[in-house]
Amino acid sequence: MSEQNMKTHSLNRALIATNRFGYGARQGEMQKAQRDPKGWVIGQLKTVEFDPSLPGSDEVLHAFYQYQQQQRKKKSNQNIDFGDDEIPKNFSRKTLQNASADGLIRSIQSSDSVSWRLLDFFSNHFSVTANNRLMAGLATTLEREAIAPNLIGRFEDMLLAITKHPAMLMYLNNERSFGPNSLAAKKRGKGLNENLAREILELHTLGVDGPYSQQDVIELAKGISGWSVKHPKREEGNGFVFRNYGHEPGKRTLLGRSYRQNGMSQGEQMLRDLATHPATAKHICRKLAFHFVSENPPKSLLDKMQQTWRETDGNIKSVMTTLFRADESWIAEPQKFKTPREFVISSYRAFGIREVKQNSFRYSLNNLGQQPFNANSPAGYSDKNEDWLGPSALMARIDWSAMVGGYQKWQKIEKILSTSLGSQVSQHTYNSVMRAESREQSIALFLMSPEFQWR
């Protein structure tokens, strides 16, 4: 292979490293990735950090409790000064806005965008929706308190942390789930709620085609009955609480395995076994490959990832390292059409923008169809190309690209092209961008080019 061909081959790999596996290159990153593309990607598997001053789930629960108390007193016409009423009333909404913007800004600014892509993958995998006042505050705390700390650890630790988190418990109503033979059921007529158990089996672990039955759903629901959220004033702890009086007594049988543990440990062991089940390895590995590599990932790649999963008991960093090391992941042709979130983040990274107004983010992602924490389904937002390629979705991108082009008139288009795509630009795209009637139009054409839209 000639020196020129070697450089081109290496640059192709650098583009794949920054654009397919990361959130697009910032200035200088293409050159760094070019030296050792695989090593550059693997080296970015790190723990991500958020703004530590953002409210946690405990603060959200306290603010919501305070708001409820104020509303009750208002209804009873008590003569009380509610001068701070607007603070708890808007606390959740402000938390949602600030935390969503913080994650996006850090994705844009980070030199480890591969990890931020991985965080967004699992945040979408364990999707919760800000569908009411309380969930607006809690939704963002799930990824900060349960996903991020376990991002490069074992999947079972992440699964346990998520299942115990107030956001997931409240979103899928497990705080209202009590075993049929529990003290709560006998004294108060409380019943079993299967929502969380069903989604754990269908979405979070085994997959919709996994080897489970309706009876397994019921057994898991009983195993995690009594898993609830603490009362801000009456109970100690940080969000999660186990209420033994609501737990279904007796042994459970899940996927043919018996669980004789008492109390909370019963559900914990059921979750640990689900996390390391071969069907879970198959489901999560395929979903990771589908997201990071291709909608038709090679069987050989999936086999390698599943083997690593078994050998490491589901260590996420090890599984991702296997994916990034595999030659099958470095298919030369673009494979995935960017989601709106990927599109916006990679655009700002290409421009080298570091300060972005919150309203700009909210407006952009709302109009493009991927508002943060608003998937309205435990399945999260779609990761399929076809679901983001519709006429209305493309028109929204064109409008957004034109708007951004107007804001970035000072940018030199040659620099943007070099930063984000290197030399991997077709002659047609290059001519269209460079011969545009205005700088605004040239930036819009660049953003809508196939080379930028696909990864």
Q: Is 238's pLDDT higher than 80?
A: no
pLDDT of residue 244 exceeding 70:
yes
Separation CA 88–CA 336 (nearest Å)? 42
pLDDT at residue 84 in the model = 54
Cα–Cα distance list, 289 to 29, 284, 305, 385 (Å): 24, 9, 9, 14
Q: What percent of the chain has pLDDT over 90?
A: 81
Secondary structure of residue 241 in the 3-state scheme: strand
- What pLDDT is attached to residue 78? 59
For residues 373 and 324, the answer to whether their CB atoms sit within 8 Å is no
Would you say the C-alpha torsion 418, 370, 396, 362 has a positive or negative sign?
A: negative
Whole-angstrom distance, CA of residue 181 vs CA of residue 140:
35
Ramachandran area for residue 93 (φ above 0: left; ψ -120 to 50: alpha; else beta) = alpha
Q: Which residue has the tokens 């660049």?
A: 446
Across the chain, mean pLDDT equals 92
**Segment among 43-52, 175-184, 435-444 with least mean pLDDT:** 435-444
Least confident of 316-330, 340-354, 401-415: 401-415
Residue identified by tokens 């809690």 is: 138
User: CA 405, CA 263: separation in Å to the nearest integer?
Assistant: 58
pLDDT greater at residue 335 or residue 356: 335
Query: Angle 358-368/391-407 helices, nearest 10 degrees?
Result: 160
- Mean pLDDT (whole number) for 86-110: 90
Residues 27 and 419: beta-carbon distance below 8 Å: yes
Question: Is a pLDDT exceeding 60 seen at residue 3?
Answer: no
Going from the C-alpha of 303 to that of each of 64, 222, 425, the distances in angstroms are 47, 34, 34
Better-scored residue on pLDDT, 303 or 404: 303
Percent helix, strand, coil in the chain (nearest 5)? 60, 5, 35
How far is C-alpha 409 from the chain's CA centre?
33
Q: Residue 5 has what pLDDT?
A: 43
Distance CA 274, CA 59 (A): 31
pLDDT of the residue at 4: 45
- Residues ≥6 apart with Cβ < 8 Å to 147: 119, 122, 123, 126, 158, 161, 162
Quick one: pLDDT band at residue 237, thresholds 50, 70, 90? low
Work out the number of other CB atoms within 10 angstroms of the CB of residue 78: 10
Structure confidence at residue 198 (pLDDT): 98
| SS3 at position 296 | coil
pLDDT at site 451: 94
- Amino acid at residue number 174: N
Residue 196, CB half-sphere, CA atoms under 13 Å: how many? 33
Cβ within 8 Å of residue 322, ≥6 positions away? 304, 305, 307, 308
* Dihedral sign from CA coordinates of 391, 395, 401, 405: positive
Q: Would you say 250 and 68 are in contact if contact means Cβ atoms under 8 Å apart? A: no
Q: What is the pTM of this model?
A: 0.94
8, pLDDT greater than 50:
no
Lowest mean pLDDT among 227-236, 238-247, 352-361: 352-361
> What is the structure's pLDDT at 87?
66
For residue 432, pLDDT beyond 70: yes
> How far lies 342's CA from each of 10, 231, 333, 455, in Å?
24, 38, 18, 10
CB 447 within 8 A of CB 340: no
Please tell me which residue, 11 or 192, carries the higher pLDDT value: 192
- What pLDDT score was predicted for residue 439? 87
